[in-house]
Amino acid sequence: MYILAIYTGEYGQRHIENIRAHAPKHWQIETWLAPTHFPLVIDDPADFLPTEVPPVDLILSFAEVKGVAELLPDLARRCGARAVLAPIDNEAWLPRGLARQLRNWLEKIGVACATPKPLCSLTEQDYLITRRQRLSYQSPQIAEFARYFGRPSFRITVDPQTRLIVDVAVQRDATCGCARFVAQRLVGVSVDEAQEKAGLLHHHYPCLASMGIDVDFDDTLMHVSGNIFKDEIGEQVKPYRKIQYIVPGVRSQD
């Protein structure tokens, strides 16, 4: 699969470095450092697009400037892309209204588009856009990407005697690499502490999702991302945890 990854700063650079380090060998990844300054109205997207772009199957937009989203339909036409992945890890970079327009623009030209919010909610079938709403998509290119990068997935091995984690295999990494960071540091941790430890490690990485309150979640996207990690780890260690039940006392009779 041929991929064009767009970036404008540290957020995108981290994602690209992790993808290149852990992508399947048959992926070929090109990058484009996009402009960061745009007029209020972009009259001709061609003025801001690269003069030469390779033919690709999938465009990944990790831009930290919302003007880049307006270039994506023309860029997709120019490089023959069949799909675009434009995550929302910060509303300032890709507002929900613009994301909805982007999906419509691309649909009209026959290009699939996914706008996961946050990026680590992406699976091979769907992604979050609000706390209770997931959007499904039909794209072999995005699904191929999501097989390796998206919602973190782990396979955890626990010593049944000590109830300590002895191994954590990453089955699907977060695009930024956070899942591998968390996995390495959970070895030796008690299953009773693993879920909270995963949340702390996620923040220590650190996650680069927005720390501002998002109205679609009534929470920060960093916190939403952290909860995705905690839920995944919690489900894995659940069979080994000791759950204490509090039984209400009975008042003695005089």
* Per-run averaged pLDDT (10 residues), the chain, 254 residues: 97 97 97 91 84 94 95 96 98 96 97 98 98 96 98 96 96 97 97 95 95 96 97 94 62 52
Residue 173 CA to residue 170 CA, distance in Å, equals 6
Q: What is the predicted pLDDT for the residue at 158?
A: 95
Q: Which amino acid is at 146?
A: A
Check if the beta carbon of residue 5 is closer than 8 Å to that of residue 33. no
Q: Give 59-80 as a DSSP string.
A: EEEE-SSGGGGGGHHHHHHHHT
Q: What is the predicted pLDDT for the residue at 52?
A: 87
Type and span of the H or E element at 22? helix 10-22
Check if the beta carbon of residue 113 is closer than 8 Å to that of residue 141. no
What are the extents of the domains in the chain?
2-146, 153-240
Query: Phi and psi dihedrals of 44, rounded to 5?
Result: -135, 105
Question: May I ask the CATH class of domain 2-146?
Answer: alpha beta
Query: Phi and psi dihedrals of 170, rounded to 5?
Result: -85, 115
What are 126's strand-pairing partners? Answer: 136
Q: What is the predicted pLDDT for the residue at 39?
A: 82
Q: What is the predicted pLDDT for the residue at 247?
A: 55
What pTM was estimated for this model as a whole? 0.91
Check if the beta carbon of residue 229 is closer than 8 Å to that of residue 150. no
